[in-house]
A and B are shown apart, each in its own frame.
Chain A
Amino acid sequence: MATVLVVDDSSFMRMRCVSTVKELGYDTVEAGDGAEAIQTYKDQKPAAVLMDITMPGTDGLQALKEIMAFDGNARVAMVTAMGQQSMVMEAMKSGAKDFVVKPFEPDRVKAALTKLLA
């Protein structure tokens, strides 16, 4: 069974996101900031990553860049309230495959995962 890494500094949002991902039948691992996400990715090589942007310390964009540098085939979607055009463009240029703006409907996260894991 594929494993999805859920990265968000909010434990409340991780709980919501993990619940949606598990409903799709995937396993999950969690990280609470960018630095933890990078380490967890390197240790566990998840099939896909759902990554928040606004986090203390290493933010989601920095973590995305480091994960892509480590694994050019990483499948990462950003899941963030920061839906500004400049942010979307930077994430896509840095290798994100999708961009989900919070608050999200569970179906939107499901669609992102389906796209990532196709």
Chain B
Amino acid sequence: MNDQEIAFWAELVNKGTNNAMNNLSQMVGQDIQVTSFGLRQIPVAETSQLMGGADVEAIGIYLTVSGSADGHIMLMYDPRMAYGFVDLLMGQPEGTTEALGEMESSALGELGNIMGSSFLNALADATGLTLMPSPPHVMTDMAGALLDIIAADILQTQDDAFVAEATYQAPGRNISGMFFVIPTQNLLQVLLDTRTAA
């Protein structure tokens, strides 16, 4: 990507992230703050390290993107942080959730659905494209294994991954999470083409 394309992609990701965080704040009734935000181009093989280590246990909420082009969205949490978000969503005292049952998984899935959809809605509004999320999949595994789901798909068509990542926290509850958007080369190109078409 040249500098102008990077700036355009950054602007889109910024809009998407803001929309996702605003709607997460509304959903959990807490002011969610973004503590770090970044764009990176890394070899696909290194995506398994995005959460700080491949062997860290994590809870992931995974959505695929379809419509005008394809991509991947993954929310990742340290399990204790995920339980904290479940407590917020279900209006329970902090520390109530200690494992994921059907209702807890459903609450986390809906959190992923709303954040992923909000991100895509902002991109669609800005570009005129249609970008649809899949139903969310909530999984518990090593962080590397979760991120390998994405790597296995995009490695078929590209060597590098263009990762948009945001870390956020709910200060009132001392809980945080990570939000990754990894477009396929095709999705990135379709998005960038809307800039030249405008």
- Give the interface of A toward B (CB within 8 A): 9-13, 15, 54-56, 80-87, 102-103
The B interface is mostly helix, strand or loop, or mixed, namely helix
Q: What DSSP secondary structure best describes chain A's contact surface?
A: loop
Task: Known pairs A12-B107, A103-B26; list 16 more (Cβ under 8 Å).
Answer: A11-B102, A11-B103, A11-B106, A13-B106, A54-B133, A81-B23, A81-B114, A81-B116, A82-B121, A83-B121, A84-B130, A84-B131, A85-B124, A85-B125, A102-B27, A102-B114
Contact A84/B120 with A55-B135, A56-B135, A103-B27 known, Cβ cut-off 8 Å? yes
Query: Given the complex, which residues of A lie within 8 Å of B48, measured CB to CB?
Result: none
Please report the C-alpha to C-alpha distance between residue A81 and residue B77 in the assembled complex, in whole angstroms: 22
B→A interface (CB under 8 Å) = 23, 26-27, 89-90, 102-103, 106-107, 109-110, 113-114, 116-118, 120-121, 124-125, 130-135
Of the candidates A56, A85, A86, the one having the most CB atoms from chain B within 10 angstroms of its own CB is: A86
Q: How far is the CA of A55 from the CA of B134 in the complex (A)?
A: 8
**Closest 4 A-B residue pairs measured CB to CB?**
A81-B117, A12-B106, A103-B27, A12-B107
